[in-house]
Each structure stands twice: as C-alpha cells, then as structure tokens.
Amino acid sequence: MAWSVLIISGVFEAIWATALGRSEGFTRLTPSVVFAVGLVVSMAGLAYALRSLPIGTAYAVWVGIGAVLTVTYAMLTGDEAASWTKIVLLAVIVGGVVGLKVLH
C-alpha cells in the first residue's frame, strides 16, 4: 500500500510543480489553487508512505517520479525542448527508481 501511495504522491508532485510554473508567481488563481491542492496531497502521501518505507528510498522515488513526469509533460506541451539525450537521461532516472523499488 505504501508504494502505491508513494507513486501517486510522485504524480501529484509533478502536478504541483507544473502548476507552480503556470501560476506566474501566484498571480493566476486556477494554477495557484491546483498548486496548493497538489502540494498538500503530495506531501500527505509522502508522509504516509514514510511510515513504512525508508526516507532515502521513498524520497528518491518520489522526487524521481515527479521530476520525470514534470519534464516529460513540459516536452510534450512544447514548454521545453525535447532531445534524445534528455529522453535517455529520463530513462536512467526511471531505471534508478525501479531499481530502488526492486532492491527494497
């Protein structure tokens, strides 16, 4: 259960990070609200997962999921340039996250 919650929390990390960028310094209401809700859900899920997972592993997985999804979304929407190098490096991050789960 903790791993499922951690993965969902990582998705919400990507949501709040993306919303933070789109809030334009909290001057736009909708992205600012999405940021706040996403942040609370993400942190609450991480806190729940930390009840049974080691902090180092859980944090690395949470950040990895959030980072990969945030960059992937930015590349898909054209906010960030895509390249094969970035895609390969994102795959390395995913491999590291999967490796941490397997080794746990």
Q: Give residue 57's domain range.
A: 2-103
Predicted confidence (pLDDT) per residue in 5-19, tens digit: 999 999 999 999 999
Report the domain count for the chain. 1
- The structure's pTM equals 0.91
Instruction: Give the orientation angle of helix 2-22 with respect to helix 29-49, to 10 degrees.
Output: 160
| pLDDT greater at residue 33 or residue 97 | 33
Mean local confidence (pLDDT), 42-71: 96
Where are any strands of DSSP class E within 1-104? none
Radius of gyration of the chain (CA): 14
